[in-house]
Amino acid sequence: MTTTATLLDRYALVRDRIAEAARRSGRTERDIILVAVTKHADPTQIRVLLEAGHRDLGENKVQQLQQRVALVDEYLDRLRVLSGTRDAREKSADVLGEARGPSALPAPVRWHMIGHLQRNKAKKVVECCRLVHSIDSLRLAEEIQSVALRRDQVVDVLLQVNCSGEDQKHGCPPAAAGALAEQIDTMVNLRVRGLMTMAADTRADQDAAQGEAATRAAFSRCRDLFEDVARLRLGGGAFNLLSMGMSSDFEIAIEE
């Protein structure tokens, strides 16, 4: 069982590795958003991250996303009930890393949908998420636009691109990304914020150097594509997010 101290040590280590990778690439840690995926975390571990000031949480399955959102909302609501309005504002702000003070309101957790999304689950995701990372087709974008329109809501989205070339990976082909992004940008309730990609799965017959080279190539390809699409001035000028890297390769993603 992971103790609170161990979890906080691991969290600090990841943040240190992010900062070091950012320095190697001539950037700062503030340029990087760490999304903590909660699928294997228990409620106590999620609360520990909240108390450490972390606000960006992600899920790759819709049912788990709904459960985690409800869990976090209940936790923050309980702070308000137990502590009273003013104390709750201060404690919730402290939990979420915001400025304290009598006028401070609890900053919301930013939920990210990072997994493949089916059109019939679009409504549930729009209700929960701050950013949808996995838009990979016009039909899916149209469904989310329809849901967002009914809710009178603007949804931030990333276009998922298959930069590894693997058949089993979701995502639109790189050659189609610009045109698809332009089509999505015409939807008044969607805002295209950037691109997302996943590196190739490491094969059993690859050595470490080959695997790293393949990973770096996929991330580099996505970064180049991101720069090309950014010239289209999509998302009202807010096309500025590149979602890459998981626990095994996030440093390479930052460097690229």
For 33, residues 6+ apart whose C-beta sits below 8 A from its C-beta are 56, 241
Residue 145 belongs to domain with CATH number: 3.20.20.10
Residue in 228, 252, 230, 232 with CA at minimum distance from that of residue 241: 230
Residue 135 counted as domain residue? yes
Reported confidence tier of residue 96, pLDDT bands at 50, 70, 90: very low
Task: Classify 164 in phi/psi space as left (phi over 0), alpha (psi -120 to 50) or beta.
Answer: alpha
Residue 11 counted as domain residue? no
Let me know whether 198 and 79 are in one domain.
no
pTM summary value? 0.86
Let me know whether 37 and 133 are in one domain.
no
In the chain, DSSP assigns E strands to 36-37, 56-59, 110-113, 131-135, 155-160, 190-196, 241-243
Domain end residue (candidates: 113, 130, 164): 113
- pLDDT higher at 164 or 209: 164
Cβ–Cβ < 8 Å for 242, 223: yes
pLDDT in tens, 71-85: 988 887 776 676 665
What is the rounded average pLDDT for all residues in the chain? 87
Distances, alpha carbon 104 to alpha carbons 48, 52, 61, 69, 89, in Å? 21, 18, 32, 22, 6
Reported confidence tier of residue 167, pLDDT bands at 50, 70, 90: confident
- pLDDT higher at 96 or 188: 188
Residue 27 counted as domain residue? no
Task: Return the pLDDT at 20.
Answer: 96
Let me know whether 92 and 120 are in one domain.
no
| Backbone φ and ψ of 100, nearest 5° | -85, 165
Let me know whether 136 and 103 are in one domain.
no
Residue 7 counted as domain residue? no
- The one-character DSSP state at 113 is E
Q: Which long-range contacts (CB under 8 A, 24 or more apart) does 160-163 make?
A: 160/133, 160/134, 160/135, 160/136, 160/195, 160/196, 160/197, 161/195, 161/196, 161/197, 161/222, 161/225, 162/197, 163/197, 163/218, 163/219, 163/221, 163/222, 163/225
Strand 56-59 and strand 110-113: the pairing is parallel
Domain end residue (candidates: 113, 148, 171): 113
CA dihedral 229→232→238→244, nearest 10 degrees, is: 0
Let me know whether 153 and 252 are in one domain.
yes
30: which strand partners? none
- The one-character DSSP state at 114 is -
Distances, alpha carbon 140 to alpha carbons 8, 93, 135, in Å? 38, 35, 7
Let me know whether 139 and 215 are in one domain.
yes
Let me know whether 99 and 149 are in one domain.
no
- Structural domain range at position 195: 116-256
Residue 40 counted as domain residue? yes
Let me know whether 91 and 147 are in one domain.
no
Give how many domains the chain has, as a whole number: 2
Task: Return the pLDDT at 39.
Answer: 87
Reported confidence tier of residue 160, pLDDT bands at 50, 70, 90: very high
Domain end residue (candidates: 61, 81, 113): 113
Let me know whether 127 and 211 are in one domain.
yes
Residue 52 counted as domain residue? yes
Let me know whether 166 and 236 are in one domain.
yes
Strand 131-135 and strand 110-113: the pairing is parallel
Task: Return the pLDDT at 203.
Answer: 61
Let me know whether 203 and 93 are in one domain.
no
Residue 174 counted as domain residue? yes
Residue 4 counted as domain residue? no
Let me know whether 40 and 66 are in one domain.
yes
The single residue listed with the structure tokens 């890297």 is 245
pLDDT in tens, 192-241: 999 999 988 766 556 778 888 889 999 999 999 999 999 999 878 899 99
The single residue listed with the structure tokens 């919301």 is 108
